[in-house]
Amino acid sequence: MLAVIDYGAGNLRSVLHALTYLGVESIRVIRSPHELRGADRIILPGVGAFGAGMQKLREQNLIPAIKDAVYVGIPYLGICLGMQFLFEYSDEMGHHEGLGLLPGCVTRFPDMPGYKVPHMGWNEIKPTRYSPLLQGIDGGYAYFVHSYYCVPLQQSDIILQVDYGIQVTAAVQRDNIYGVQFHPEKSQRTGLKILSNFLEIER
């Protein structure tokens, strides 16, 4: 069973539509910790503010359940804000703790001539190492919408980068933990392939 966590984030419907298009039949929308039982993989989508999103997860008591699932090896895919949640903290509108599953932080893009914030639209993704999430993907373009970006402490966690005035982490992996900063559900063939690859990852 594929668990898609619903904590009020805005892109849930488009993610579910993409998964249905890929032929996924066993999908459960999760709003409470006990509903995660029996999940063999987890997707945490999300858009919006980091602090507000983490507060929603706390209110629904989902944080311990998510961590427990990850610790026993269940594949996790965070999308956009769901990837940012993986890290220790964000400085978006204050200091907000994340899930702390990966070392690093989330910070705002610096002011750079010629580069608007948010980083919005299509950009070229470039693999930095092999990952099962990138099977059959040598590059391509993905759709981004974000004003804050992830800064992993371990370079080995980075599997995709994108150039936006600086080198920005576009995707990460450590063991069964995966995250993409872009929206695969809006990234056409490349995005659908990434989602399909995640669905085929074994524990």
Question: In the annotation, is 124 catalytic?
Answer: no
80, 105, 146, 150: the active-site residue: 80
Mean pLDDT per 10-residue run, the chain (203 residues)?
89 91 93 94 92 96 97 97 98 95 97 94 97 95 97 98 98 99 95 97 84
pLDDT at 198: 98
- pTM exceeds 0.75 for this model: yes
Active-site annotation holds for 80: yes
Q: Which of 96, 183, 200, 202 is catalytic?
A: 183
pLDDT at 183: 95
Sign, CA dihedral 43-68-73-32, equals negative
User: Which pLDDT score is estimated for 10?
Assistant: 66
Active site residue 183: yes
| pLDDT value of residue 36 | 93
Q: What is the model's pLDDT at position 178?
A: 99
What's the pLDDT score for residue 14?
Answer: 92
- Domain limits, the chain: 2-200
pLDDT value at residue 184:
95
Classify residue 58 by its DSSP letter: H
CATH 3.40.50.2300 is held by the domain 2-200: no
Task: Please identify which residue in the block is written with the tokens 């190492």.
Answer: 129
**Exposed/middle/buried for 23, CB within 10 Å: 0-12, 13-18, 19+?**
exposed
28 closest CA partner among 41, 45, 10, 11: 41
> Please, is 165 exposed, middle or buried when counting C-beta atoms within 10 Å of its C-beta (0-12, 13-18, 19+)?
middle
List 105, 119, 146, 185, catalytic entry: 185
